[in-house]
Structure 1
Amino acid sequence: MTRRPIGYYVHHHGAGHLARANAIAAASDWPVVLLGTGIGDRGIDLSDDRLIPGGFDGLDGAGDRPEALHYAPLDHEGIRSRIAKVSEWIAVARPALMVVDVSVEIAMLARLASVPVVYVRLNGDRSDPPHAQAFASAHALLAPFHETFERSETPDWVRAKTRYLPGITPVPFKAGVEADRILIVVGRGGVPGNSAWIADAARACPHKSWRVIGPVTPPARCPSNLIFAGWVDDPASEIARAACVIGAAGDGLVGAVLAADRSFICLPEDRPFGEQFATAQALERLGAAIVLKQSPQPVEWPDLIEREAAIPSDVRRRLHDPLGAKAAAVWLAALAGRYIGERADAA
């Protein structure tokens, strides 16, 4: 018996959406088809919807727009193509379920096409009308974070529709920790890192080995204990080897750090809907990380690293489910089976 697939829409901004989709698909016994820009032969590749190739700030330049939409630029050939391709795939594949990670517009399109939707609900203030409508139209909401990260302002009806599933990450890389290694992670969704403060931090801790991954241009004068590795294919292995990780509060990085159970110094970045600030506040409130509102002075780094190393490991471990991806896959399969009248464990 051929099962009708679960569609999984992957947003192109940042690496976390695709990592989450891949982790769920790898853990799923139900067929999962990825849809998104840059997916290539891993699924259904969609035309780019960005106004500026390679850049995305979420602004569509539209003077008028329905209140229920976030991003709807006019006369954009890429959007016409991607909407047509998603609609055609839905008509032919007849998906049992559509996971949307994330896009209010794609969620509405799937709902209009009579497909049950699970909307991935990220942290932050999502009380604006488009998010509220997407949440209301979805059959369920998936929060890829621990329930204790939840904002107190989140309405009860949103909480009631939400399944909290921390730990939707690739299987953690097993590697020995290098006790003196400090890893700085600069994510794909942010701006290129400023290398000056990194070099100053490394100079302030000459007994530590500093390594940077991500889009950062090395400074003209680089201390001998600092390496800029650029983009890497296996950030999980880099995180696994580090004694302490420094980076922003993006969902992907936070999940990877918790999965590897590594010390974390968090510098949240400004993101739409205050997503990273909300996550950072939760980490600080729960005592799971050192959270900084700005880059510290060089002389502060030795004390910060020492303070973070003193945080008990169990504080981080209770925020992570090592079987999170499997739990998400089983839950989604159960929903898919329910909507098409099939038991999730049926062949």
Structure 2
Amino acid sequence: MSSSAARPLVGWYVHHHGAGHRTRFSAVRPHLDADVVVFSSLAAPTDLPPDTTWVELERDDAPTTGADGVVRHPADASPTAGGLLHWAPVGHPGHTARLGRIAATIAGAAAGGRPVDAMVVDVSVEVTLFVRLLGVEVVVVSQPGDRTDQPHRLAYDAASRVIAPWPAGTHDSSALDRVADTVRWVGGISRQDGRRASAPGHVTVPGSVLFVGGAGGSDHDDLSASVARAARATPGTTWSALGLDTWVDDPWGAMAAAEVVVTWAGQNTVADLAALGARAVVVPQSRPFDEQLTTARALDRAGLAVVASSWPADDEWPAVIERARALRPDWSAWQVEGAAARAAAVVAEVAGRGTHAVGPARATVAVHDDLAGAFS
């Protein structure tokens, strides 16, 4: 990583579940005028931006074999510390090693010897608390859902700023109300912000339906068969799918060509729908703290998508697709335009006042706390 004395060094923790946390980092990173060191159990992307170092961490969720030959799972090693934490298994070498690696880098013993000025955590209660105990200010990326449990409250209290990547007023914010002074609602963060479905080469195909899966898993044992049955149940449509047997790094072209997109309620996917202005059927999947269910309810209230509480029965699909075709959603209410830059400005604000920063980072956009839009 090349370094600049005029810019701070920002640490960034990327959770390994699914692809959404890494995708969000990729959306925000181009707007952040700082050197960045990323910590994650995921492998580094092939298109790592300039002035960015990726530190691959040991996993802390794999079973271990002790000297006695007994295989032990970290879930049986008091990982919650009696409900104070979410995941800190006792005696797990991967857990100890990953925190040691983070500490060494933050202290300046790695990454060229520069101490970290601020840390973005997306997401981990344990990393948030650990970094704050090391004396570094933390920017926590929040998730939708019921986050009123004790570990989440502790992490939000410890954070210097909390980024909520959705518009103000869309979700139940009871978990964030108690730290309202530090919360910044930036809108839905999409790497597709600025792209236009009306650009040359983007032609919507009448009758086309695209299913877009995700890397975080689904509630269906045989999703391919479910999609195939839905296609057979809707004469006059042509279905295709991404995220089943086929994975593409950039689904924009396929999504832009589809008349209707069928997908889950993950944050990045919803933000991409908003950037596209898509007509969509959204089926929330089971996630911790009802994350996707909370997002789907917000979309339903705003009339932005057809929301099905579970995968529709075969004979329900014709009516579901017709409802989606009839939508005229005003996706501007999701506040995707400029959201990644607003998130970067929050990080720059905190990093620029770090004890090791030589000069302030350039925050080129204002942060908006009043992005209520149609939800107020």
Q: Output the CA distance in 1 between the equivalents of 2:250 and 2:21.
A: 16
Match of 1:181 in 2: 208
Alpha-carbon distance, 1:274 to partner: 0.8
2:335 to 304, 307, 320: 320
**Bigger shift: residues 302-311 or 173-182:** 173-182
Alpha-carbon distance, 1:38 to partner: 2.0
Q: Output the CA distance in 2 between the equivalents of 1:49 and 1:245.
A: 36
1:285 to 276, 291, 301: 301
Match of 2:227 in 1: 198
Q: Output the CA distance in 1 between the equivalents of 2:209 and 2:37.
A: 37
2:240 to 204, 211, 231: 211
Q: Output the CA distance in 1 between the equivalents of 2:190 and 2:311.
A: 28
Are 1:15 and 1:252, in contact at CA under 8 Å, matched by a contact in 2? no
Alpha-carbon distance, 1:79 to partner: 1.3
Structure 1: unaligned runs, 5 residues or longer? 217-228
Q: Output the CA distance in 2 between the equivalents of 1:16 and 1:161.
A: 24
Alpha-carbon distance, 1:189 to partner: 0.7
Q: Output the CA distance in 1 between the equivalents of 2:12 and 2:173.
A: 29
Q: Output the CA distance in 1 between the equivalents of 2:335 and 2:190.
A: 10
Q: CA deviation digits over 1:207-236, x for unaligned, max 9?
A: 21111111x3xxxxxxxxxxxx52122123
1:344 to 345, 348, 361: 361
Give the AA of the match of 1:46: L
Q: Output the CA distance in 2 between the equivalents of 1:127 and 1:313.
A: 31
Give the AA of the match of 1:10: V
Match of 1:126 in 2: 147
What percentage of aligned pairs have identical amino acids? 36
Match of 1:138 in 2: 159
Q: CA deviation digits over 1:159-187, x for unaligned, max 9?
A: 33211112322135553322322111121
Q: Output the CA distance in 2 between the equivalents of 1:158 and 1:262.
A: 34
Q: CA deviation digits over 1:95-147, x for unaligned, max 9?
A: 11100000001001110111100111100001111111001011110111111
Alpha-carbon distance, 1:52 to partner: 5.7
Q: CA deviation digits over 1:58-116, x for unaligned, max 9?
A: 98333471533110122222112111110111011311110000000100111011110
Q: Output the CA distance in 2 between the equivalents of 1:235 and 1:291.
A: 21
2:191 to 167, 170, 179: 170
Residue 106 in 1 paired to residue 127 in 2?
A: yes
Are 2:77 and 2:91, in contact at CA under 8 Å, matched by a contact in 1? no
Q: Output the CA distance in 1 between the equivalents of 2:335 and 2:254.
A: 19
Give the AA of the match of 2:210: L
Are 1:23 and 1:170, in contact at CA under 8 Å, matched by a contact in 2? yes
Residue 252 in 1 paired to residue 268 in 2?
A: yes
Q: Output the CA distance in 2 between the equivalents of 1:27 and 1:177.
A: 31
Alpha-carbon distance, 1:343 to partner: 2.9
Alpha-carbon distance, 1:155 to partner: 5.2
Residue 17 in 1 paired to residue 21 in 2?
A: yes
Q: Output the CA distance in 2 between the equivalents of 1:78 and 1:135.
A: 25
CA RMSD, Structure 1 to Structure 2 (Å): 2.2
1:68 to 81, 84, 87: 84
Residue 294 in 1 paired to residue 323 in 2?
A: no
Are 2:303 and 2:329, in contact at CA under 8 Å, matched by a contact in 1? no
Match of 2:106 in 1: 90
Alpha-carbon distance, 1:264 to partner: 1.4
Change (3 A) 1:23 1:134: same
Are 2:60 and 2:74, in contact at CA under 8 Å, matched by a contact in 1? no
| Matched residue SS, 1:166 | coil
Q: How many residues matched?
A: 328
Q: Output the CA distance in 2 between the equivalents of 1:290 and 1:31.
A: 41
Return the TM-score normalized by structure 2.
0.81
Change (3 A) 1:177 1:148: farther
Give the AA of the match of 2:230: A
Q: Output the CA distance in 2 between the equivalents of 1:195 and 1:104.
A: 35
Residue 49 in 1 paired to residue 60 in 2?
A: yes
Change (3 A) 1:278 1:167: closer
Q: Output the CA distance in 1 between the equivalents of 2:119 and 2:175.
A: 24
Match of 2:179 in 1: 158
**Bigger shift: residues 65-74 or 278-287:** 65-74
**Bigger shift: residues 189-198 or 108-117:** 189-198
